[in-house]
Amino acid sequence: MKQQRAKFGSKLGVVLASAGSAVGLGNVWRFPYEAGNNGGAAFIIIYLISVVLIGMPIIISEFMIGRRSKVNTAGAYKKLAPNTSWKWVGRLGVLTGFLILCYYVVVAGWTLEYVYQSSINAFHGQDKDFFVNQFSIFSQSIFRPILWLVVFMLLTHFVIVKGVEKGIERSSKIMMPLLFILIIVLVGFSVSLPGAQAGIDFLIIPDWGKVTPKVVLSAVGQAFFSLSIGMGCLCTYASYFSKETKLGRTAVSVALIDTFIAILAGFLIFPAAFSVGIEPGAGPSLVFVTLPNVFEHAFGGVPILAYIFSLLFYLLLAMAALTSTISIHEVITAYIHEEFHLERKKAARVVTATCIFLGTFCSLSLGPFRNFTLFDLNLFSLFDFFTAKILLPVGGVFISIFAGWYLDKKGIFKEEISTGGAIHPLLYKLLIIILRYVAPIAIFLVFLNQFGLF
């Protein structure tokens, strides 16, 4: 009973679905708050270096592993490296994805609250203090955030059971370009607010004195998180690519789109934050307290425009988050479906239910349970720290070693990278050197440094 495995329908679909996974709350919510917490421009420069030097080669590696094996990420290592321990890299990825989804969906739920608040025009005529209060009351309350996270998980579930081409690909094709255009328009408004220049300076003038091991690890972690690498997400999507897909070119497109949107989000948030006097290090609330201000200030004279822009923005942000939650859900669903031979629909149900369960605790950990901490972090922050700053980079080390050494020695690397035409020998050499030595050693050193071992 060999069923034809699903596939993406077009080249554009491949790029947009992968970019849809990469572009999400990581760009618009997490990037600005990490940049804000870590001093701004210097963080961003280290982040950009990580994207080019470590990110792109790992995207290519994940693409190869997925397309070559045509199975879920844990199965992929089993297939390409039978009877070895490599399968644990895939399994670790599935676990990482699961943990990310549990807290990511909390923030995704917040975007729905903001869609709702925008739709009833609750932001009209309000000022900064209102937005700061409103966010802290909302995010610490019990029922509403949980309600929205459940709704969000169900939306994700719905697309997942519709399948790859109809669900994932079609939704990405419409939402991604729209979000892009809207952010560009809003950046135009944000940078022209009074006092915006201080925000622009924060983004472009590096203060190297602020760079500590923590800043470097945060930047590397953000690159992994934002590009959706280190956990087999792009590997799972690539298992639906066809032979014709050019892996190198697709990887460059995904990294460019993702990075461009993160930088744009920076130019949207910081000028606006500085303009109304919100601290750049405000943490996870940064986007949620800054943006409503942009809408109010930019269109104060024309309330209907403020209404439309705010509603549209949160809708698109929710959708960007949705294409990302879908991609993580798919990793786990494909794993359970293929490895445990559970019907796809049932596998999806297991994932949705367990994520709602754990997600609820993550949400409560910001409010009633905030005094339960481990290493000084509540559950929400613990999941975030542990996944983005530890598990993803660790996954990345193994993926690059697997691709650079194992796949290359078997000739698979060369074959997979060349399906769209021969790759320049120098570029090939460079990629292999990065994957074999540069990326693993760099990440390893960042770890040692962060944990005070040198």
Nearest to 75 by CA among 61, 59, 94: 94
- Out of 44, 107, 187, 233, the residue judged to bind ligand PHE by CB under 6 A: 233
Kindly give, in sequence order, each residue whose CB lies less than 8 Å from that of residue 413, ignoring residues fewer than 6 positions away.
Answer: 64, 403, 404, 407, 432
Interface region with ligand PHE, contact rule CB under 6 A, candidates 113-121, 222-230, 424-432, 444-452: 222-230
State yes or no: residue 183 binds ligand PHE (CB under 6 A).
Answer: no
State yes or no: residue 275 binds ligand PHE (CB under 6 A).
Answer: no
Backbone angles phi, psi at 377, to 5 degrees: -120, 140
State yes or no: residue 434 binds ligand PHE (CB under 6 A).
Answer: no
- Out of 13, 18, 19, 21, the residue judged to bind ligand PHE by CB under 6 A: 21
Tell me the residue nearest to ligand PHE as measured from the CB: 26
Kindly give, in sequence order, each residue whose CB lies less than 8 Å from that of residue 290, ignoring residues fewer than 6 positions away.
Answer: 131, 269, 272, 273, 276, 278, 282
- Out of 13, 20, 24, 393, the residue judged to bind ligand PHE by CB under 6 A: 24
- The nearer residue to ligand PHE, 25 or 176, going by C-beta atoms, is 25
| Distance separating alpha carbons of residues 214 and 268, to the nearest angstrom | 25
Kindly give, in sequence order, each residue whose CB lies less than 8 Å from that of residue 46, ignoring residues fewer than 6 positions away.
Answer: 211, 215, 216, 219, 220
- The nearer residue to ligand PHE, 152 or 225, going by C-beta atoms, is 225
Per DSSP, the three-state class of 84 is coil
State yes or no: residue 73 binds ligand PHE (CB under 6 A).
Answer: no
- Out of 14, 46, 257, 328, the residue judged to bind ligand PHE by CB under 6 A: 328
State yes or no: residue 394 binds ligand PHE (CB under 6 A).
Answer: no
Interface region with ligand PHE, contact rule CB under 6 A, candidates 46-54, 273-281, 323-331, 408-416: 323-331
Per DSSP, the three-state class of 377 is strand
| Distance separating alpha carbons of residues 82 and 61, to the nearest angstrom | 18
- Out of 228, 239, 245, 378, the residue judged to bind ligand PHE by CB under 6 A: 228
Per DSSP, the three-state class of 179 is helix
- The nearer residue to ligand PHE, 105 or 231, going by C-beta atoms, is 231
State yes or no: residue 324 binds ligand PHE (CB under 6 A).
Answer: yes
- The nearer residue to ligand PHE, 21 or 285, going by C-beta atoms, is 21
Interface region with ligand PHE, contact rule CB under 6 A, candidates 19-27, 180-188, 365-373, 402-410: 19-27
Tokens 């070693």, located at residue: 401
Tokens 């030595």, located at residue: 437
Counting Cα atoms < 13 Å in the Cβ hemisphere of 70 gives: 9
DSSP string computed for 331-359? HHHHHHHHHS---HHHHHHHHHHHHHHHH
- The nearer residue to ligand PHE, 50 or 327, going by C-beta atoms, is 327
Shortest spacing between CB 224 and ligand PHE, in angstroms: 8
State yes or no: residue 37 binds ligand PHE (CB under 6 A).
Answer: no
345 C-beta neighbours (distance < 10 Å), count: 12
State yes or no: residue 310 binds ligand PHE (CB under 6 A).
Answer: no
- Out of 16, 59, 76, 231, the residue judged to bind ligand PHE by CB under 6 A: 231
